[in-house]
Structure 1
Amino acid sequence: MSVDLRVYLVTDPGLGGSRPVEHIVAAAVEGGVTIVQLRDKAAGPAALEAVARRLLTVLAGTGVPLVINDRMDVAAAVGAGLHVGRTDVAPVDARAALAPGVPLGVSTYAGRDLAPGEEEALDYVAVGPVWETATKSDAGPGIGLDTVSRAARNNRLPVVGIGGIDAARAGEVVAAGAAGVAVVSAVMAAADPRAAARAIRESVDAALAGRAEGER
């Protein structure tokens, strides 16, 4: 399936303060977020499923899909998509367990090649951290824009860059070849998530337009 990856919001409840995650997500979608990943490593399955269902209500009618980080059981239970790491469930097995037509993505970090059969099961690959980030403690050092470019060239699947990205950097990642950018703190911690998402969306759209013009 084709997934709009331009502005990919990854949730982190610790960054939102007292604000409910669904309130931040609703505002961010109004600002231009195109896909949402529910990530909460501390939540148990029941709590995560409850948040996922609230987010699905918020996203209903917007065309913005929801993916769940790591938890295939929750994703399958609520009919959402799934995002996995390289040490999580195999993409082929995940695809078989998920509802038809939902997004499935994988983190490749340094743009490593996918295993045989994985490409057909996946909709996108996330590459990062592009720059060092404190949002994910085990993310490792920044891989840089050259690696993003190489990953975009070497993968038939669309690539989304993640790690240390804000509105000022989003255009650089897309200009390097990414289909979009994944952001966490730039939106989740923003005083105005709607405005923060809008600024990132404008940067991404401008970079995509510039890339298209350069390819003519």
Structure 2
Amino acid sequence: MVDFSLYAITGENFHPGRDLVEVMEEAILGGADIVQFRDKTSSKAEMLHKAKALRVLTRKYGIPYIVNDDVELALEVDADGIHLGQGDMPIEEARRRVGGKIIGISTHALEEARLAEQQGADYIGAGPVYATKTKADAVSPVGLSYITEVAENISIPFVAIGGIKLSNVDEVIRAGARRVCAISEIVGSDDVTGTCRAFIEKLKSEGMREWS
């Protein structure tokens, strides 16, 4: 799969009154280089409409486009991949359904990360690093120690996620993350593009210090 640094996930509840595609385009212009469509409340028709619009947007900029949970929707809009939770479709079944498309999966413990790697996931989400209100069913924070564990033990790409802000991302990077995901901090920002640029700058500057 194409590598990435800043993973942006949709969250329309954080930008009421603002157009979904407009907000995500601003994120891309700021440096977000992979986009996930996540929507747990819209009707199927609304989700299809939004998913298609984001497919057009991500093709315009040539970046990977991931659909959360819904394999059928991912296939219908020809997304580049699917992201699964621990309680979703098993990776083996998802691979049969989506073929060579990207498969990502959320992990909260090293055993889950190792299993995902063994089963052929293309990347994993590692978190939530901090407490987050983005998901009503979010698990307890795993902390920075889990990021370090994954960095030291897992060879496939991983993205740190969960409560990550500009104010704490430096310590996430120092813990071993080279890719980060933010939702409310990005799409809820008054300056989406500027916020993404700030994340990218921190990834570059902290990364150069950590890995030089």
Q: 1:86 maps to what in 2? A: 86
SS for the counterpart of 2:8 is strand
| Change over 3 Å in CA distance of 1:76–1:161 after alignment to 2 | same
Counterpart Cα distance in 2 of 1:89 and 1:122: 13
Aligned equivalent of 1:142: 141
Give the CA deviation at 1:99.
5.6
Structure 2, unaligned stretches of length 5 or more?
none
- State the superposition RMSD in angstroms: 1.8
How far did residue 187 of structure 1 move? 0.8
TM-score by length of 2: 0.92
* Residue segments in structure 1 that go unaligned for 5+ positions in a row: none
Q: Alignment identity in percent? A: 31
Q: Whole-Å Cα distance in 2 between the matches of residues 12 and 158 of structure 1?
A: 23
Letter in 2 for 1:3: D
SS in 2 for 1:64: coil
Distance 1:114 1:149, change over 3 A: closer
Partner residue, 1:18? 17
Q: Structure 1 length normalisation: TM-score? A: 0.90
Report the Cα distance in structure 2 between the residues aligned to 1:3 and 1:29, rounded to whole angstroms.
Answer: 15
SS in 2 for 1:60: helix
Residue 64 of structure 1: how far off its partner (Å): 1.4
Residue correspondence of structure 1 range 1-216 to structure 2 within 5 A: 1-4=1-4, 6-80=5-79, 81-98=81-98, 100=100, 102-114=101-113, 119=118, 121-213=120-212
CA contact (8 A) 1:152 1:158 kept: no
**Partner deviation per Cα, 1:147-177 (whole Å, 9 max, x = no partner):** 1100222212112111111122223212211
Contact 1:9 1:187 in 2 (8 A): yes
Runs ≥4 residues deviating over 6 A: none
CA contact (8 A) 2:116 2:124 kept: no
CA contact (8 A) 1:85 1:107 kept: yes
In the alignment of these two chains, the number of paired residues is: 211
Q: Indicate if the aligned counterparts of 2:2 and 2:64 stay in contact, CA closer than 8 A.
A: no
